[in-house]
Structure 1
Amino acid sequence: MKNKLLLPITVLLIGILWFISVSVITLHDYNGVLRTFVYHDETDFSVRWKHSVEKEEWEEMFQVKGTTIYIDSTRFKTFGAGVPSNAGNNTFIKNGWVYMTGISRKIGDELFIRTGKTTQHRFIYGNETIHLDKQEAYNIRTEERSLANFIWLKVSTRMR
């Protein structure tokens, strides 16, 4: 009796995994999906790097609402050419950083990044920091995927 039920239950479970949808953030490089993270409704992440001219750290913080990415705030150590004198609705200095918050500028469902030779770009999600390779193109996307596809991506990207 157990053997007769095993196959239908397995097929049912696999079917359910394909029909349950999850919201994910995927980090892509030239080889495809590098990392994937599940989120619910809203989340945030940041991209941090060393400015190629000033040699100071910069960080941009992003919010995801639904499947849309927004730049929320930025922080940096020094003003230089091309830096806006104001962005968002609040600018202040804290612990040696200049913060510009409340930007809320819509990016869309994907963000493109190009790293430099000396910029030491990092993608930060939660307490995980992913160091990005030099002189490469990256893409951060928000997507709806089946739970089965998410599990497959999670397992396969850990093997890279």
Structure 2
Amino acid sequence: MKSFTLVTLLCTVATAAVIPRDTVFDGHCCFTLQDVATSATVQQNSDGNLLLNAGKTNGFYCIDLSNSQDILRDNAFNACFLGPSGALKCVDPTPGFQSWTLQKSGSNTLLQHDGGSTFNSCSKTSTSAKGTVLYGDKHTDATACKKVTLKAKNFKGTCKSLQG
């Protein structure tokens, strides 16, 4: 009986360790992101790249709307940034140089970077064999891109003014 209980406990702990957490940080507005045109949910791979339709774990992101630093963070509290190639990544707690915010636009709440809401969804097989990689305005190391707009959904935390 003890071995059955131990196995059950270990399975429960192992399952809990791999289930993604939608952590809501104190004072933050947290959400998932979707492509407005296709409703594809933004996903994130283990290297911190943000992707669409790649068969990865759905991303969960947060912004402290009361903090003037305007930092977008993932569920592991990594700051998100546009890398030198333009790729959107969340890999380190140190913020990048972009300003991130959420802006109501009709029935949608759009993610903006540096005042703009346009991103690029690009094929890049070296990063993701399936799906596309998200970029900002520039995409120097990727081809076959299309413009996308990302909307925030499934709000948690301090998002009351954005929920509609």
TM-score, normalised to structure 2's length?
0.29
Greater RCO structure (CA 8 Å; 6+ sep): 1
Structure with larger Rg: 1
TM-score, normalised to structure 1's length?
0.29
Which protein is richer in strand relative to its size? 1
Which protein is richer in helix relative to its size? 1
